[in-house]
Amino acid sequence: MINRERLIDTFRFLAKIDSVSRHEGDIAKELKKILETMGAETVIDGAGKKTGSNTGNLIAKFHGTEKIPPLLLNAHMDTVEPGRGVVPVLKDGIFTSDGTTILGADDKSAIAVLIEVMTVLTENKMPYGPIEMILTTCEEIGLMGAKHLDMSLITAKYGYALDATDTEGIITHAPSANKIEFKVHGRDAHAGAAPEKGINAIHLASKAIAGLELGRIDKETTCNIGIINGGIATNIIPNLVSVKGEVRSHNDEKLKRVTSDIISSFENAVKNYGTNSSDGLPRVDVVVEDDFSRTAIPANHPVVTLAQKAAANLGRKMITKTTGGGADANIFYERGIITGVIGTGMRDMHSVRESVSVDDMVKTGDLVLEIIRLHTQIGERL
């Protein structure tokens, strides 16, 4: 029942709207108008004041025809850079950009699918239960929109986020994550005239990093140092360097241990420098941020079995999957909303090679429609 050509037009329209993180205002306005013409009650919450975006999250509520518990459907409005002036190109059933920008299929393919699904439901006067559609901002810069979502507007206790590749998988397990920032303080001095008077902050940070095990620690745990900033000129010994990294794990004890090990490496690098200077240098400041909590949805949870039954009805499979990434679903799960993550077929996200197949978007639309149909039948028992 998904209208392929209409879905194509919707995605092309959305892809052309600039919506890089913290600049989602234009697409939020357009989506608000579209969803309201379909009968939704919409609210833009106040998250923008906290995220720095020029808009809040967009919540659209469809009351449906049946009095059953509501179903959450989620996608995010923001894209990564380079994401301005996107020119979507459709060739042989596959959307790409013109090669100078990302495409924005992450996550506009999901938004296009959700609009098409709701259009099919309403134009065909199909029975369905309440739908709470949550379109977030700033997902790409730390799930910030979801973190600051006005939860008083949400009543759903389960649902689906469309923010993955695999159209025949549902992500049920995702890791917890810590962000860590170190500021290593040294002492500046002329690098040629008086190097012995300086304490090289970059050197200390490098020693700390050299002692770390990075990448995949084990099958449950990863860590990374991703950003280093420091120094002014080659002839000045740097007195400050900032180092940012992260740790992720499906095991919270391992998350805690690896985070502690990284902190110890920096603290020991400073401690072992061997100076007793009166200015207290060198020193290191450490900030650890609980970025998001893990998800662990049981295989027999209705969110999983509903998606699997819907897929089976369409002659497909739906396997449970574990990921190393985070999504808005992590935040919803932490707040008591069990949210599985399903895919739209988007590939090579966060690159100028990003693409999405129209066939895959249609498949996801069919799946979501069938999920809603089954939810309508058994919603009171969920």
Q: Which of the 8 DSSP states describes residue 140?
A: G
**Total domains present in the chain:** 2
- Residues near 238 by Cβ (< 8 Å), separated by ≥ 6? 186, 188, 200, 201, 202, 230, 231, 232
Active site residue 78: yes
345: left (phi over 0), alpha (psi -120 to 50) or beta: left
Domain boundary among 240, 258, 292: 292
161 lies in the same domain as 304: yes
Domain identity same for 152 and 186: no
Neighbour tally for 290: CB within 10 Å: 11
What's the rounded Cα separation, in Å, for the pair 268 and 320?
A: 42
Q: Which of 162, 120, 154, 157 has the alpha carbon at shortest distance from 373?
A: 120
Question: Which of 292, 308, 342 finishes a domain?
Answer: 292
> If you count them, how many residues does the chain have?
382
- Contact between 328 and 293 under an 8 Å Cβ cutoff? The reply is no
- Boundaries of domain holding 242: 176-292
pLDDT score recorded for residue 276:
61
| Entry pTM | 0.94
- The reported pLDDT for the residue numbered 356 is 98
pLDDT on residue 241 = 98
Check if 291 is active-site: no
Last residue of a domain, one of 238, 269, 292: 292
Determine which one of 24, 106, 139, 328 is catalytic.
139
Q: What is the pLDDT of residues 320-344, one digit of tens each?
A: 999 999 999 999 999 999 999 999 9
How confident is the model at residue 274, as a pLDDT? 76
> How far is it between the farthest Cα atoms of the chain?
81
Whether residue 22 is found in the same domain as residue 130 = yes
Catalytic residue among 24, 78, 132, 291: 78
CATH number of the structural domain spanning residue 235:
3.30.70.360
Q: How far apart are CA 259 and CA 247, in angstroms?
A: 6
Task: Report how far residue 302's alpha carbon sits from residue 308's, in angstroms, rounded to the nearest whole number.
Answer: 9
Low-confidence ranges of the chain (pLDDT < 50): none
Distances, alpha carbon 25 to alpha carbons 30, 56, 95, in Å: 9, 8, 24
Residues 253 and 323 in one domain: no
CB-based contacts of 82, cutoff 8 Å, min separation 6? 100, 101, 102, 352
Angstrom distance (rounded) from CA 12 to CA 89: 9
